[in-house]
Structure 1
Amino acid sequence: MEQGFIVTLVGRKRKNSLPMPDRKYKCVRMKLFFDKGALFYAEYNIRLFLFQLFHKSSHLLANDLDTLLSGYLAAKIKGNRLIYDTHEYFTEVPELVSRPRIKRIWERIEEWIFPKLEAIYTVNDSIASRYSEKYGKNVRVVRNVSRKWTPKDIVPKSELGIPEDKKLLIVQGAGINIDRGVEEAVEAMKYTEGLFLMIVGDGDVVPQLKEQVAREQLGDKVRFYGKRPFNELMYYTFHADFGLTLDKDTNLNYRFSLPNKVFDYIHATTPVLASDLPEIRKVVEGYQVGTFIPSHDPKELAAFFMETARNEEQLTYWKQNCQRAAKELCWEHEEEVLKEIYEVS
Structure 2
Amino acid sequence: MINIHLYPSPFLNESRILREARLLEKLGLFERIDLVGTGRSDLAVTEAVSDRIHIRRIGLRDESLSFLEKTQATMTWSAAVFRSYRGERIGCVNCHSIATLPLGVRFKRTTGARLVYDAHELETETNGLHGLRKRLTKLTERALIGQADHCIFVGDAIDNWYREAYGITNTTVLYNCPPYRELQPSDVFRERFGIPADMPIFLYQGLIGEGRGLRLLVEAFAGLRGRAALVILGYGPLSGWVREQADACDNVFHHPAVPPGELLSYTAAADVGLSVIEPTSLSYEYCMPNKLFEYIMAGKPLIVSPTTEQRSFLRRFRVGEVASELTADALRSAVMTLLSRPPGHYQAELARARQLFNWDRQEKALESVYRQWLGFDAPVRSLAPMEGEAT
Aligned residues: 334
**Which residue matches 1:323?**
351
AA partner of residue 251 (structure 1): S
**Which residue matches 1:265?**
295
Q: Judge which range, 28-37 or 191-200, deviates more.
A: 28-37
**Which residue matches 2:180?**
148
Q: Distance in 2 between matches of 1:251 and 1:298?
A: 20
Q: Judge which range, 63-72 or 212-221, deviates more.
A: 212-221
1:335 pairs with 2:363:
yes
Closer, same or farther: CA 338–162 of 1 in aligned 2, 3 Å: farther
Closer, same or farther: CA 186–29 of 1 in aligned 2, 3 Å: farther
Match of 2:138 among 78, 86, 107: 107
Closer, same or farther: CA 13–284 of 1 in aligned 2, 3 Å: farther
**Which residue matches 1:225?**
255
- Residues 206 and 234 of structure 2 are in contact (CA less than 8 Å); yes or no, is this contact kept in structure 1? yes
Q: CA deviation at 1:184?
A: 0.9
Q: CA deviation at 1:268?
A: 0.2
Match of 2:91 among 58, 70, 73: 58
Q: CA deviation at 1:208?
A: 3.3
- Residues 142 and 337 of structure 1 are in contact (CA less than 8 Å); yes or no, is this contact kept in structure 2? yes
**Which residue matches 1:186?**
218
Closer, same or farther: CA 287–328 of 1 in aligned 2, 3 Å: same
- Residues 48 and 55 of structure 2 are in contact (CA less than 8 Å); yes or no, is this contact kept in structure 1? no
SS for the counterpart of 2:222 is helix
Q: CA deviation at 1:134?
A: 1.7
SS for the counterpart of 1:207 is coil
Taking structure 1 as the reference length, the TM-score comes to 0.85
Q: Give aligned-pair identity as a percent.
A: 24
AA partner of residue 256 (structure 1): Y
CA RMSD of aligned residues (A): 2.9
**Which residue matches 2:305?**
275
Q: CA deviation at 1:126?
A: 1.7
Q: Distance in 2 between matches of 1:22 and 1:234?
A: 25
AA partner of residue 149 (structure 1): R
**Which residue matches 1:72?**
105
* Greater share of helix: 1
**Which residue matches 2:204?**
171
Closer, same or farther: CA 158–251 of 1 in aligned 2, 3 Å: closer
Name the larger-Rg structure: 2
Provide, for residues 258-308 of structure 1, a one-character-per-residue CA deviation record: whole Å limited to 9, x for no partner.
112111110001111011223223322212110111333224433543x24
**Which residue matches 2:266?**
236
Match of 1:251 among 269, 281, 285: 281
- Residues 82 and 107 of structure 2 are in contact (CA less than 8 Å); yes or no, is this contact kept in structure 1? yes
1:196 pairs with 2:229:
yes
AA partner of residue 178 (structure 1): E
Q: Distance in 2 between matches of 1:215 and 1:291?
A: 25
Q: Distance in 1 between matches of 2:269 and 2:42?
A: 27
Match of 1:298 among 305, 328, 343: 328
SS for the counterpart of 1:58 is strand
Q: CA deviation at 1:326?
A: 0.3
Q: Distance in 1 between matches of 2:348 and 2:161?
A: 34
Q: CA deviation at 1:178?
A: 2.9
1:85 pairs with 2:133:
no
Q: Distance in 2 between matches of 1:132 and 1:236?
A: 38
Closer, same or farther: CA 162–212 of 1 in aligned 2, 3 Å: closer
**Which residue matches 1:3?**
27
AA partner of residue 11 (structure 1): G
After TM superposition, which residue ranges in structure 1, 4 or more long, deviate above 4 angstroms? 13-17
Q: CA deviation at 1:181?
A: 1.4
Q: Distance in 1 between matches of 2:322 and 2:334?
A: 10
- Which stretches in structure 2 are left out of the alignment for 5+ residues? 1-24, 376-391
1:131 pairs with 2:162:
yes
Closer, same or farther: CA 93–149 of 1 in aligned 2, 3 Å: same
Q: Distance in 1 between matches of 2:302 and 2:274?
A: 6
